[in-house]
Structure 1
Amino acid sequence: MEFKNFTYLLLMLGSLAVPLAFSFEKQVRFYTKLKYLLPAIIFTGAIFIIWDLRFEELGIWKFNPEYVTGIYILNLPFEEWLFFIVIPYCSVFIYEILNVKLPHFEKPQIFVGVSLVLLVVFALTAYFFREKLYTFFNFFLLTIYFGYTVFRNRFKQHYTKFYLTYLIALVPMLIINGILTALPVVEYNDMHILGLRIFTIPIEDFGYFFLLLLMNLTIYEYLRKTQFY
C-alpha cells in the first residue's frame, strides 16, 4: 500500500480535527448536542449510502482505488462511509458556532424568499435535465425535501443560520471536494451530469451538499426541540 492510498482517509481525518478539538469549548459545548446529532447523521447517512451504492452500481460515479485504503463495506470504500459522518459533524459544528456568536442575527423573511426562488430553480433543473441521472435525482430529491421543509414552515426560525452555515462550509467543501475531483478520488460519468463545474467540482455536488446539510439540520433541530430523550 502506498501513501496516496490514504488520501481520502487523511482528508476526512483532517476535516474532523478542528471541530473535534473545539467540541469541548465551554461556550459551545458541542459534545452535549451529540445525542441529537448522531440520529440525524445515521438516518441521513443511510439514505445517502443507499443512493451511493446504487449510483456506483450504475456506473454514474466510481472511486479510484489508488486513493483509498482498500477497505470496502458493501462495495463502498470505508472512507465514503466516514464522509457521511465527518461532513455533517463539521457542518453542524459551524451551525452551533453561529448560534453562539450571532444569537440575534435573524433574517427569516429574507431567507424564506431565497428559499422559494431556490425551490423553483431546483425543480426546473430536475425537470429540464431529467435525462441526466445524477442531475435529475439530485435536484428532484432536493426539491421534494426542501419543498416539504419550506411549506411545513417549522424550520423558518433556523433559515438564517442554515444559509450562513452552508456559505461558510462551502470554503472547506471547495478544498476537500476540489481535491477529491481533481486527483480524482471520485470519477463521474459525463453522460449523467450537466458538465458544468466550479474548478473540478460538478455543479450537482453543490446541490448534493445542500441536501446533506439540510436533512441533518432539520432532523437535528426537530430532535432538539421535541427532546424525546
Structure 2
Amino acid sequence: MRFIKHWKAVLLSLTIVATVFLIWDAIFTKNGVWGFNPDYHLPFLLFGMPIEEWLFFFCIPYASIFIHYSLAYFKPNLLIAKDITKAITITIICVLLPILFFNFDRAYTAVNYSFLIVLLGVSLIYGLEYLRRFYIAFLIILIPFFIVNGILTGTGLEEPVVWYNNDENLGIRLLTIPIEDIGYAFTMLFGNVFLIEKFKKKD
C-alpha cells in the first residue's frame, strides 16, 4: 500500500479536521453539552478537555481512514454505482433536513447535522467518487465504532467515560450511544478522506 507516501496529505487533513472538531468540542464541553468523567482520564486539561480527547481526533481518524484505504487497495473494484451513491446521499440529506429544522434548539443535533448536510452537499458536486467507496468502508468502520464508543458512553461500566446532556440531543440511543454520534463519526472521517484526496491531487 505504501500509505506512508501520502503522509503530507494525511497529516494536513487530520490537523484541519481536528482543529474544527476541537473548537466545537471545547465550546460544547464549556457549555455542558457533554463532558468527561475524571475517574477515567489523566488530570491534565487543555481548554477543559483531557489530553486523551485531543489525541482522539488524530488516532481514531487515522486508524479509520486506514481501513478505508486498505479496502481501496485490496478491493479496488468494490464501489457503489454513481447513481446509487448519489441517491443515497440525497436521501440522507432529505432525512436530516426536517430533523434539523425541528430540533434546531438542541445544540448537538443542530451542529452535528448541519456539518453533515453541508459535507454531503459539497460531496455531491466535488466528492461523489470518494463516497462510492467510503459508504462501504464506513459500514466496516461501524463495527469497532460501536464497540469502542459503546464502552466510552457507558456500556459495561458503572458510569460512562463521556456523558451527554440529553436536552441537547434527540435522546435516542443505540444501547448507550447517542444516535448523533454516527453522523459525527461520518463527518469527521469522510471530512478527512475528502481533504486527503484533494491534497493528493495537488501533490
Task: State the 1:73 CA deviation.
Answer: 1.8
Following superposition, which runs of at least 4 residues in structure 1 exceed 3 angstroms of deviation? none
- Corresponding position: 1:199 with 2:175: yes
Aligned twin of 1:14? none
Aligned length: 198
Aligned twin of 1:148? 122
Provide the C-alpha distance between the structure 2 equivalents of 1:190 and 1:203, rounded to a whole number of angstroms: 11
Task: State the 1:105 CA deviation.
Answer: 2.4
Aligned twin of 1:56? 29
1:101-140 → structure 2 map (5 Å cutoff): 101-106=74-79, 107-140=81-114
Q: Which of these residues, 7, 13, 21, is aligned with residue 40 of structure 1?
A: 13
1:183-194 → structure 2 map (5 Å cutoff): 183=157, 184-194=160-170
Q: Bigger CA drift: 192-201 or 68-77?
A: 68-77
Aligned twin of 2:48? 75
Structure 2 residue identity aligned to 1:70: P
Aligned twin of 1:221? 197
Judge conservation of contact 1:108–1:158 (CA < 8 Å) in 2.
no
- SS for the counterpart of 1:62 is strand
Percent identity of equivalent pairs: 36
Judge conservation of contact 1:36–1:220 (CA < 8 Å) in 2.
yes
After superposition, the CA RMSD in angstroms is 1.1
Task: State the 1:130 CA deviation.
Answer: 1.2
Residues 19-78 of structure 1, C-alpha deviations (whole Å, 9 max, x = no match): xxxxxxxxx222222211110000000000000000011101010000001122222100
Q: Which of these residues, 130, 133, 140, is aligned with residue 168 of structure 1?
A: 140
Judge conservation of contact 1:177–1:201 (CA < 8 Å) in 2.
yes
Provide the C-alpha distance between the structure 1 equivalents of 2:66 and 2:6, rounded to a whole number of angstroms: 10
- SS for the counterpart of 2:150 is helix
TM-score by length of structure 2 reads 0.94
Judge conservation of contact 1:60–1:192 (CA < 8 Å) in 2.
yes
Q: Which runs of 5+ in 2 are unaligned?
A: none
Provide the C-alpha distance between the structure 1 equivalents of 2:47 and 2:172, rounded to a whole number of angstroms: 30
- SS for the counterpart of 1:145 is helix
Task: State the 1:206 CA deviation.
Answer: 0.6
- Corresponding position: 1:180 with 2:152: yes
Task: State the 1:154 CA deviation.
Answer: 2.5
Structure 1 residue identity aligned to 2:202: T
- SS for the counterpart of 1:104 is coil
Aligned twin of 1:97? 70
Provide the C-alpha distance between the structure 2 equivalents of 1:63 and 1:196, rounded to a whole number of angstroms: 20
Provide the C-alpha distance between the structure 1 equivalents of 2:196 and 2:93, rounded to a whole number of angstroms: 22
